Amino acid sequence: MINYARERAIEILKTASTAVLATTSPSGVQVGEFPCEAIGIDIYILVPQTSDHLFNLEQDDRVALHTESWELTGKGRALSSQDNWPAISLVQKHGTAWYVLVKVVPGQIQILRPDGWGPAETIDLIPPR
């Protein structure tokens, strides 16, 4: 069952090329839409270097992402230039030197109904504490 849930999550996450990122911390609630790309279960998001999202992530790694077909909650971390960045097309685009790559590891994914009303399916990837 766990393998099915993981494979289903991988399948649905790769459908998005942009996502709305929400973070919160001392600089308040921040919400913005950014380009994204999934590799397996992880989502990578390009966030401008000057974004308050990065400050928020230093203080609290909890994030929420929303697209037209899914939403998720999980943990986010800004990758530094010393980290091994994955070989994804997202970071090959012109102008990405002014951005920071944020890695999001999902905890729970809600797959939205095609008619737009509420979740049709929920996938828990990290056991509750």
For 8, the domain range is 2-124
Domain-located, residue 91? yes
Residue 107 scores a pLDDT above 90: yes
Residue 72 scores a pLDDT above 80: yes
Check residue 108 and give its pLDDT: 95
Residue 113 tokens, joined: 């109904």
Q: With a threshold of 0.95, does the pTM exceed it?
A: no
Q: Quickly state the pLDDT bin for 49 (edges 50, 70, 90).
A: very high
Domain-located, residue 81? yes
Check residue 56 and give its pLDDT: 95
3-class secondary-structure state, position 52: helix
Domain-located, residue 103? yes
The span from the CA of 75 to the CA of 34, in Å, is: 17
Domain-located, residue 80? yes
**Tally of domains in the chain:** 1
Domain-located, residue 129? no
Domain-located, residue 19? yes
Domain-located, residue 75? yes
**Mean pLDDT taken over the chain:** 88
Domain CATH code at residue 12: 2.30.110.10
Check residue 47 and give its pLDDT: 95
- 2-37, pLDDT tens digit by residue? 688 889 999 999 999 999 999 998 778 999 999 999
